Structure 1
Amino acid sequence: MRLEDQIDKMKEDIVSAVQACIRIKSVKDDAHAAQGAPFGPGIREALEWTLRLGEKLGFDVKNVDGYAGHIEMGSGDLLGILGHLDVVPEGDGWSVPPYSATIKDGKIYGRGALDDKGPSLAALFAMKAIKDAKIPLNKRVRLILGTDEESGWADMDYYLQKEEVPYMGFAPDAEFPLIHAEKGILHLEFKKSFAAALPHLVSIRGGERANVVPDVCEVILTGLDRDSVAQSLKEFAFPEDVNGQLQDQQAGQEMKLIFKGVGAHGSLPQHGKNAVLYALKFLRLLPLSAEEQETLDFILTYPGTGFFGEGFEIALRDEPSGQLSLNLGILELTSGEIRFVLDIRYPVTYGRDDVVLPIEKVAQKGGYSLQVINHQKAHHVPKDSALVQSLLKAYADVTGLEPYAFAIGGGTYAKALPQGVAFGPVFPGEPEVIHCADEYISIDNILLTTKVYAQAILNIASDPEYR
């Protein structure tokens, strides 16, 4: 039986596994971290469930203290496939329950369907198809399951200190045909205390993760005329899919406003509509104090100008990886202080200081402290490398589509390997729904992805006669 036919016969098992994994809410939960569950009980459950599945399918498995785990087959040098089981918070705007794994119009909906539970399980069933076909391998194939990819990579730092590091491999966590270059990633935190309590801005809160374009922003005001605020909301020119609403009367003179935008991955801020920035643009039109206006102006002028760092004059670009991107991912303001976090993806031929030093000058000018809370260096594997060419051949042979390699702003576990690339699962021309409401993966595509991964494994880890 051909390998592709064998994968087709596993369709029900693959779909059921993806659904079961999606139904586990594996969002990081530091408040309930414990031994064996460093990122909370939901993530531990997802890891343990997937490792049990791997064992049931006949593979060797290992749980590395709850930080990560792996599922392995074969012998020889090590090929790594690096997926992850943690997910970003679900956010608002879903048409189905976000952890229901609802099937509708041939698609499996749910947080993690595309990022990254579906593709990780596609890699597992690709290994299963090769095992069942009894095709001999000349390398070990190890599916590594991370659990903190969306937050800070503490999982991979721990795992790679404890376990063998694959020399080469791929992360099933981005796009097809293949990503050979990944921009550097910086998360920068700005903080500032106010000398006295702000008179009108009680709080502004928007965003949960730096790497997500905020789709909701909540504002509480005081000391302003409610009717005037309501009239200003009616007159404000919000773009399509963005709105602001005045909620029921709060205690005393306080009033609550909810602004809704469009979420997107933080590496592609131009694909979203940042609810925080639209909230600030509206607030700037109200009769606020000079300090409140100055605070809003700083954000709107610097992180709020453009998507590519124009406000800080760091709109860098290069030939291998394109332009820098900048996302205002988190804003927390109270009457006493302000904190906001930026997600910046910089081109592969630049370094940390090319980005941070200009921003430091702006922060100091505005009276803000600046801290680098996360940094991943840029990563680049040449297009003519054996790894890139082997994977592109698998993609072309299985799909019949044009093979090519390109760069992205997203950061994947490929950066953890000396030779690592990102490989699937989003096919060219498909909508980008990672980190969005109604995230999904189509059943046809998860089967096709499984077939591509199976052929990729054969191209790298089997004798030539089986490729």
Structure 2
Amino acid sequence: MRLNQTIDLIKEDLISAVQTCIRIKSVKDVEHAATGAPFGPGIQEALEWTLDLGEKFGFTVKNVDGYAGHIEMGKGDLLGILGHLDVVPEGDGWSAPPYSASINDGKLYGRGALDDKGPTLAALFAMKAIKDAGIPLNMRVRLILGTDEESGWADMDYYLKKEEVPQIGFAPDAEFPLIHAEKGILHLELIQSHPTSFPHLVRVQGGERANVVPDLCEVTLKEISSEVVEKLLKSFSFPEGVSGIIDSQATDQEIKLSFKGVGAHGSLPQNGKNAVVYALQFLKTLPLNSEENRSLDNVLKYPGTGFTGEGFGITLSDEPSGKLSLNLGIFELTSDETRYVIDIRYPVTFKRDDVFLPIAKIAENEHLIIKVLTHQEAHHVPKESALVQSLLKAYADVTGLEPFAFAIGGGTYAKALPQGVAFGPLFPGEPEVIHCPDEYISIDNLLLTTKVYAQAILNLAADPENR
């Protein structure tokens, strides 16, 4: 195929571009926000660099006040491709520096390689290949560059109020073959004040984002001997991949502990091992007082029980999208209060209040203050739609693999469009490394993804004789 040959010729440029983009640490940093950089300087740099690249390719580009941007080609009705350049914090456990974009054994490693810089640039290079091959389009193709996908979508809220909204499109930010249904996403904060100061628990903290399974929890204790803690640590049964150690800087006044777990995407909590939950389970073995134990019990009983909302009695499920999931993503306990944030993904045939009201009732009974931090409704595009069928055909024709559509708990920018679906880049059978240490995309799959996206654009935006 002429288009595939064109993509093969720009392979090295694609790899180099992904490496350069990964080396920009585009983690949200509101403390250093400024005009034109509402999410911090790293994200601003990634956005401006990508827009410059699109301009060098000869496309029309626009920076929408630093909240987002787009790169566009063609004329006519608008087809949207919605990627994002922000990344979650790198976390611990990497075998190579997380922003080095190193290549080893045919894999390109780095935070954002798979989520979502690699596939976003694959879409851009697919557009370039179509342009280089001289294939005419009868639609405008707009690659929208988001910058706050991991932290609340303030970028899309701003962008979609300012710019034309594509009626159809896809997000290169999930899995192949195609995701036609996405669960609703609800992030809740719960806070409980303590009536008295705790005698032993100084601070317990774990997790940075609601949508990530915490892989680290740090604990500070007082008035418990290090010998007692050390003995109980040695006898405590941690599962494989989970550990707890006493900090070497412990003093007679305070003891610091670190608990390591296994990170995972918050929509798949069963794929991780929550360091917070195991830390609290261990703390329950210590000689704590009744108020301290009660605070730990409430967390372990409600968000700390199971992965499908068992603790809150919200084990909802449906045929199109499966079971509800719940992740305890952020936790902080001090002598003054206990605060935690949970990430809930609920099935597409349910509504927010089916989830919220049972939790609110428990919060009232337990004297917890509850707050909705973010909410996204569930989203669904019929499998028989022209959009779904065109993309599945591109996937099958390029890869030779079986095409099918399915539902996920993850939330992508597909929800921002009237008809939007998630399309790649993770191929069936590949390990799920999004939000994990040693996140990577294989070079072969990066190239194959680019070819799939190029064919998808042709199926949607070119006349049949040019596909």
TM score, norm. by length of structure 1: 0.99
User: 1:248 deviation in Å?
Assistant: 2.1
Query: 1:59-74 alignment to 2 at 5 Å?
Result: 59-74=59-74
Give the partner amino acid of 2:373: I
Match of 1:456 in 2: 456
Q: Is the 1:248–1:255 contact (alpha carbons within 8 Å) kept by the matching residues of 2?
A: no
Q: Which position in structure 2 is the counterpart of 1:216?
A: 216
Give me the whole-angstrom Cα distance separating, in 1, the residues matched to 2:257 and 2:191: 24
SS in structure 2 of the partner of residue 267 of structure 1: coil
Partner of 2:370: 370
Give how far 1:15 is off.
0.1
Identity %: 77
- Structure-1 residue corresponding to 2:53: 53
| Deviation of 1:229 (Å) | 0.8
Partner of 1:20: 20
Match of 1:412 in 2: 412
Aligned-pair CA distance for 1:251: 4.2
Secondary structure of 2:363's counterpart equals helix
In the alignment, which residue of structure 1 is the partner of 2:100?
100
Tell me the distance in 1 between the aligned counterparts of 2:167 and 2:134: 25
1:357 counterpart residue number = 357
Show CA shifts across 1:245-282 (max 9, x none): 01124344210010000000000000000000000000
SS of residue in 1 equivalent to 2:155: helix
Letter in 1 for 2:444: D
1:257-268 matches, within 5 Å, as 257-268=257-268
Q: Aligned pair 1:422/2:396, yes or no?
A: no
Structure-2 residue corresponding to 1:392: 392
Partner residue in 1 for 2:341? 341
Per the alignment, residue 184 of structure 2 pairs with 184
Partners of 2:29 and 2:442 in 1: CA distance: 29
2:151 alignment counterpart: 151
User: 2-side partners of 1:362 and 1:433: how far apart?
Assistant: 34
Aligned length: 467
Q: Which moved more, 1:219-228 or 1:45-54?
A: 219-228
1:317-339 deviation line (CA, Å, top 9, x unaligned): 00010000000000011111111
What is aligned with 1:329?
Answer: 329
Indicate the RMSD between aligned Cα atoms, in angstroms. 0.7
What code does the residue aligned with 1:420 have? Answer: G
1:29 equivalent in structure 2? 29
How does 1:237-386 map onto structure 2 within 5 Å? 237-386=237-386
Instruction: Please say if residues 197 and 336 of structure 1, whose CA atoms lie closer than 8 Å, have aligned partners that are also in contact.
Output: yes
Question: Hey, what does 1:443 align to over in structure 2?
Answer: 443
Deviation, 1:194, is: 0.9
Bigger Cα displacement from structure 2, 412-421 vs 364-373: 364-373
Alpha-carbon distance in 2 for matches of 1:166, 1:462: 17
Q: Find the residue that maps to 1:202 and give its secondary structure.
A: strand
Residue identity matched to 2:102: T
Deviations 1:180-225 (A, max 9, x none): 0000000000011112211100000000000000000000001112
1:36 aligned counterpart, secondary structure: coil
The answer to whether residue 147 in structure 2 is matched with residue 128 in structure 1 is: no
Structure 1, gaps ≥5 residues long: none
1:413 deviation in Å? 0.2
State the secondary structure of the residue aligned to 1:79. strand
| Separation in 1, partners of 2:310, 2:251 | 41
Give distance in 2, aligned partners of 1:339 and 1:364: 15
Q: CA deviation at 1:405?
A: 0.1
After superposition, the C-alpha distances for 1:147-191 in whole angstroms (9 at most, x for unaligned) are 000001000000000000000000000000000000000000001
TM-score, scaled relative to structure 2 = 0.99
SS in structure 2 opposite 1:61?
strand
Map of 2:91 onto structure 1: 91
| 1:116 aligns to 2:103 (yes or no) | no
